[in-house]
Amino acid sequence: MLLTVDGLRVSYHTDEGIVRAVDGVTFSLDRRETLAVVGESGSGKSTLALSVMGLLPKTARVEGSIRFLDRELTTMREEELRRLRGDRMTIVFQEPMTALNPVFTIGRFMRDIYLTHREGSEEEALSLAREWLSKVKVPGPDKVLNSYPHELSGGMRQRVLIASSLMLEPDLVIMDEPTSALDVSVQAQILRLIAELKSQVEASFIFITHNLGVAAAVGDRVAVMYAGRMVEVASKEEIFSDPMHPYTKGLLRAVPKVSGGEVEPIPGSVPSLVNPPSGCRFHPRCPLADERCSEEEPELRKVRPGHWVACHKVSG
């Protein structure tokens, strides 16, 4: 296993109370595997990404274990963690417009990443950067290396960030809603690019999205998150053919279909992370909920090989 997350909990103390952004998440990731994590905003999926990267704010409290390359990340010293970041594990954020430093050129940024993690010359850094910019299909890589972020379009900046995240051939790449801030047409291009790159590199991916359709398109497996917990994990085929958790079913009905038909939003809204509902967190919005659901918290359990669900109403 490349990455094993076990019983991860992340909480913050705020004026309103303790926010449990991630509340007991367990999963693992194989080499060259892609896990798509789906959830609405506030489901804890971005917090999960940041905790793996060790980028949580200092006020966050982390419990549980994150093992990466057979090393425990939660207790690792910041300096060691820093050496892993950008080298063995990288992340691409949602907002390419603000993710790049406005006063430095793309070349400067990519060079700094290289020189931070590798012994090498500036020329080697720039030639590797150039090579990767071509791989992510940036037209005119030399010109782009000398460009400032504001001179590039959003899609182009996201390509730059993707190239930066792959340049040092990391073991793990996290993509946190990498296309959500882009125009629809550009989104499709970037998704295609990511699908293509996946086959070219050795890395494993965690792909975070709020769109189940996108998740199924890029993921080998799909994990559905709700209110800080994983409620269903299955292969992308099974998530579509045999969704079991009522929330997953609801999400599927909410995905616009090419064939037309009604889009049904899930009634209700994402619960507060300060005072989450008792029992199963989904029960206030769940059509199947009964008394047990409001009292007892369902565990994520295996219903068949490779398919895990946390729901009292699913037998097996």
Partner 1 sequence: MSDLARYVIRRIILAIPTLLGVSVIVFLMIHMLPGDPAQLLAPPEATIQEVEMIRRRLGLDKPLWEQYLIFMGNALKGEFGKSLFTGHTVSELLWPAYLNTLTLSVLAMGFGLVIGVLMGIYAALRPNTVRDQAVTSLSLFGISMPVFWLGLILIEIFSVWLRLLPSGGSGTPRHLILPSLTLGLVGAAYVGRATRASMLEVLSQEYVRTARAYGLPERLVIYVYALRNALIPVVTVAGLIFGYMMAGAVLTETVFSFPGLGRLIVNAIFARDYPIVQAGILVVATTFVAINTAVDILYAFINPRIRLG
Identity of residue 83: R
25, β-bridge pairs: 8
From the list 7-15, 79-87, 190-198, 301-309, the region that binds partner 1 by CB under 8 A is: 79-87
The residues, any chain, with a CB within 8 Å of residue 47's CB and separated by 6 or more, are 10, 21, 22, 56
CA distance 148 to 69: 35
Listed residue (287, 305, 295) closest to 247, CA to CA? 287
Site membership for partner 1, residue 161 (CB under 8 A): yes
x/- map, 173-192, partner 1, by CB under 8 A: --------------------
CA distance 153 to 160: 11
Site membership for partner 1, residue 112 (CB under 8 A): yes
Site membership for partner 1, residue 85 (CB under 8 A): yes
Site membership for partner 1, residue 53 (CB under 8 A): yes
With CB under 8 A as the contact rule, the residue among 95, 124, 238, 297 that binds partner 1 is: 95
- For partner 1, the closer of residues 117 and 285 by Cβ is 117
With CB under 8 A as the contact rule, the residue among 14, 28, 41, 101 that binds partner 1 is: 101
With CB under 8 A as the contact rule, the residue among 60, 76, 99, 255 that binds partner 1 is: 99
CA distance 112 to 96: 18
Asked if 202 and 32 count as a contact pair (C-beta separation under 8 A), the reply is yes
- For partner 1, the closer of residues 129 and 230 by Cβ is 129
The residues, any chain, with a CB within 8 Å of residue 175's CB and separated by 6 or more, are 91, 92, 194, 205, 206, 207, 208
Asked if 31 and 88 count as a contact pair (C-beta separation under 8 A), the reply is no
x/- map, 209-248, partner 1, by CB under 8 A: ----------------------------------------
Number of helices (H), then strands (E), belonging to the chain: the values are 12, 12
Site membership for partner 1, residue 33 (CB under 8 A): no
176, β-bridge pairs: 208
Three-state DSSP at 209 gives: strand
x/- map, 117-156, partner 1, by CB under 8 A: x------------------------------x-x------
Q: What residue ranges bind partner 1 (CB under 8 A)?
A: 53, 55, 82-87, 90-91, 93, 95, 98-104, 112-113, 116-117, 148, 150, 161, 164-165
